Structure 1
Amino acid sequence: MEHFDRGVSRLSKKRKVQEDELGYSMDELNEDLLEKVLSWLPTSTFFRLSSVCKRWKSVAASKSFKLACSHIPSRDPWFFMVDPHLNQSIIFDSAEKNWKKLNHPSTLHHYQSMPVAASGGLVCYRTITGNFLVSNPVTQACRQLPSPSPTLQDQPLQAIAMNITSNYHGSYKLVLVSGELPRLSFKVYDSSANCWEEEVLLSRKVNDSLEFDSNSDDAVYFLSKAGNVVATNLQRSPSKQYSAVITVKDDEETVYFLSSSGTIVACNVTCRYFCEYPRLLPAFSEYSIDVVECRGEMLVVLLSEFFESSSVRVWRFDEKIKCWQQIAAMPPAMSHELFGKKVDINCVGAGDRIFMCLNSAELFRYIVCDLVSNEWIELPNCFMNGEAIEFMSAFSFEPRIEASV
């Protein structure tokens, strides 16, 4: 036994020597390497860096650290939640799978505004006067954009889409689509020039049209159990009134939004034309629908009722065969409780995931759909002061401290 103890003692000493020779502490790293190591930490740790020590506090405030953070290819998304009162900043952290309350940017307190778009590490707000503010929810940086000039003949605003080109250099675009079908126009704010470009009229795409043909056998229909025609359920969260998504394919930017009748309108702002996609449901059917962007393509989330049950499905449009293809469906055990409750669905895409807010007078739910695994996960409610908070919608953004407004 004594020999065994001496052997263990010698082995422990040997391991200690090896650790002393090969190991090192964070304090021994030079400034550049320390910044690179810390840049890989989850963004939520940013709030704690300054309280660790003076050196880390200095790192958190340095420009070179923000540059190091900008080299991280991607970060797990945060979902910026919109509550009916629009007076707080609460997010769901998909990396840590919990709710967080952020400090509301002080600049926003001076304006009556609501979030309307998000991209990269930024969230865009629109004021009641029609002006726009862009904020980084992580750093609370916020600034007001130049006022857009009046639209052609004061046409109503239809859609707002945001597309970021560089987080670190603060390069992003804001696209506004205005008018009534078939007369649509768009204008673009370019942050690199800090100005709005001239308004451009969109022409209707005639050749290879995607528009609905009532005699087409490829139309996808979900009729109500009685076969009757009812009012379209297109209620929207106020923040989703101008909701739109933008995709970039073959260097062409396309903005997608829902028209007042529930059709999906695609505006190619590069080639300056628009078209309408075939309906997923007959006109005036009862349903709730939203458009999202995932993996660089436009998808549609549709909640409809048939055969005594509700169905939530995700669709993509196959450009080759000009037809909608189902790619995911909520398990019936989850969707059945939605039947007959007049549920409004508001969604946002983030990579391979879709975040859904389901609301009605009787319930509110938050669901995340993983398109790769076809997993549907219901999130726990967010509680404040012992009460569950109801959120109407959400916006997805990457939490990046280097994102410049």
Structure 2
Amino acid sequence: MEDPAAITQLRCASECLEFRQSYDHHDSDQQQRQVLDYTSGLWSHLPEQVMERILAFLPLPSFFRFRSVCKRWNSLMYSSRFLQICSQIGGITTRRPWFLMLKEPAITLTSEGWLYNPCARKWSKLPLSFLPPGARVVATADGILCCSIYSETRVMASKSSCKKLLVCNPLTKTCIELPSTLKERFVPTVGIVVNPETNSYKVMVAGDDMISPFAVKNLTTEVYDSRTNRWRMAATALPRLCNLESGKTVFVQGTFYCMNYNPFSVLAYDIEQEEWTNIQAPMKRFIRTPNLVVCRGRLVLVAAVEKNRLNVPKSIRMWGLQKQQQQHQSSAKNCTSWVELERMPQALYEDFLIRVSSSSSSSSSRSCEETSSSQEGVLLFSCVGNGDLILITMQNSPEMLILDLFEKVWRWLPRCPYIIGELLDDIIGHGMVVQGFPFNPRLDGLQNRN
């Protein structure tokens, strides 16, 4: 058992260390003072293990600043002992939500992503050049990226079939290539979930099985478990008439969820029961660009509501899924329903429309039971949720909008300083969307724990 008093003292020491570095950083006349040389004075007399425990309590941005102090501190992120300390005390990890942004399609021919820290309202770069050619980020969980690996010829063709995946921690550049999936799938839907206590993880892959380069058959599911290092086929197939073209999935309380576009619904996969169920979506005849996110620990569906010639105001709305248990002939049955949680204020919605490039009107939007190329006011956007926050990115625009679902506060994000030049032209002129993923940076991700 950890001594609470000792933990408090170590945390205070780390805060003192961070304060002193911050103080001297802003004192331009004394930046070269001996106080920054922690090889002398108080810090030089601390045992190495005590110093590591103090550093482990620092918030992640401060830790990366302090890596420049000396080679020893710079090497800590690769030290198994230091990472074990971080795991034990929960240090060097981000309790508050961050977001990872990538240009869609998120293929790492682009060698970096961008991290947004909502608390500090700051952007930073995340180098991804260490990933192999053709790696495409498809899912994230607890600071771990899951990537599909395509051959170079298939990268140029964008989405195609895939059997190889890898997981990585982009902070430590630790990569693990998973065994090949049992079946090759066309545009697979991929999801990952991490057990933070053991650092074990499971990866779910579902979609159309490739039986030849030009044909698909069946919709199957398989799950990889890092504890066994094996893939296992699910006992049941997906419901008939499925269309999982989005490739996106989210995980909430033991269940993976993804959008089904034909017919329009939400598909749920219970990872323990190995069963798929079909959930009817709200207002399915009127919504456009549906997105599934996790916010405040529950599944939330975000979509534009657009229906001409009916008394249905255009807006962006959010519904939360809630489960109810009903008794039917002495057997319990889980029933689901949707509850509207929030809708974008009308003035903000009009501002939202103004900021979207005018070329978006020529873009096609997926509508489930009703699709028409003559629709007006169609929006194409992407959403990602993390903690209490939902972040919205738009096609043809670098603008991003965020909602604090707890405080019911909307605000525009500061423009990402790294979306400039040709990249900005690609987003504005070619209908691309900046794709977001939930990301909680942690150094001890993918580290084995006994």
Q: Same fold (TM over 0.5)?
A: yes
1:404 aligns with 2:446: yes
Partner residue in 1 for 2:206: 177
CA gap 1:68/1:332 in 2 versus in 1, 3 angstroms: farther
C-alpha contact (below 8 Å) 1:82/1:393 kept by paired residues: yes
Counterpart CA distance in 2 for 1:337 and 1:282 is 25
1:336 aligns with 2:354: no
Give how far 1:203 is off: 7.3
Counterpart CA distance in 2 for 1:140 and 1:95 is 25
Counterpart CA distance in 1 for 2:336 and 2:119 is 37
Give how far 1:267 is off: 1.6
Answer 1 or 2: higher relative contact order, Cα 8 Å, separation at least 6. Answer: 1
Partner residue in 1 for 2:176: 143
CA gap 1:106/1:272 in 2 versus in 1, 3 angstroms: closer
Residue type at the aligned position of 1:402 = D
Of 265, 280, 295, 2:267 maps to: 265
Partner residue in 2 for 1:354: 390
Counterpart CA distance in 2 for 1:404 and 1:184 is 30
Of 66, 80, 84, 2:83 maps to: 66
How do residues 63-212 of structure 1 correspond to structure 2 at under 5 angstroms?
A: 63-70=80-87, 71-72=89-90, 74-84=94-104, 86=107, 87=110, 88-108=112-132, 111-128=133-150, 130=162, 131-150=164-183, 156=186, 159-166=189-196, 170-179=199-208, 184-202=219-237
CA gap 1:58/1:135 in 2 versus in 1, 3 angstroms: closer
Residue type at the aligned position of 2:204 = V
Residue type at the aligned position of 1:43 = L
87-96 or 383-392, which deviates more: 383-392
Q: State the secondary structure of the residue aligned to 1:106.
A: coil
TM-score, L = length of structure 2: 0.67
Unaligned stretches of 5+ residues in structure 2: 1-40, 152-161, 210-217, 325-334, 354-375, 428-432
Residue type at the aligned position of 2:247 = Y
CA gap 1:158/1:114 in 2 versus in 1, 3 angstroms: closer
Q: Deviations over 1:293-329 (max 9, x none)?
A: 2233211111223569641222112323743111122
Of 255, 274, 277, 1:275 maps to: 277
Larger Rg: 1
Q: Deviations over 1:25-82 (max 9, x none)?
A: 4444433332222222222234333311345335444322212222327522331112
Counterpart CA distance in 1 for 2:336 and 2:319 is 13
Counterpart CA distance in 1 for 2:378 and 2:337 is 28
C-alpha contact (below 8 Å) 2:298/2:321 kept by paired residues: no
| Identical residues among aligned pairs (%) | 25
Residue type at the aligned position of 1:148 = T
Partner residue in 2 for 1:242: 247
In the alignment of these two chains, the number of paired residues is 336
Counterpart CA distance in 2 for 1:117 and 1:331 is 31
C-alpha contact (below 8 Å) 1:170/1:192 kept by paired residues: no
Q: State the secondary structure of the residue aligned to 1:265.
A: strand
Give how far 1:366 is off: 1.2
320-329 or 310-319, which deviates more: 320-329
Partner residue in 2 for 1:7: none
CA gap 1:44/1:338 in 2 versus in 1, 3 angstroms: same
Give how far 1:352 is off: 1.5
Counterpart CA distance in 2 for 1:394 and 1:190 is 25
C-alpha contact (below 8 Å) 2:139/2:145 kept by paired residues: yes
Unaligned stretches of 5+ residues in structure 1: 1-23, 206-233
CA gap 1:369/1:27 in 2 versus in 1, 3 angstroms: farther
CA gap 1:40/1:328 in 2 versus in 1, 3 angstroms: farther
Give how far 1:125 is off: 1.0
Counterpart CA distance in 2 for 1:319 and 1:244 is 19
CA gap 1:288/1:147 in 2 versus in 1, 3 angstroms: same
CA gap 1:35/1:199 in 2 versus in 1, 3 angstroms: same
Q: Deviations over 1:162-212 (max 9, x none)?
A: 001137x641110112359xx75321111222221234324769xxxxxxx
TM-score, L = length of structure 1: 0.73
Residue type at the aligned position of 1:400 = R
C-alpha contact (below 8 Å) 1:112/1:128 kept by paired residues: yes
Counterpart CA distance in 2 for 1:309 and 1:203 is 35
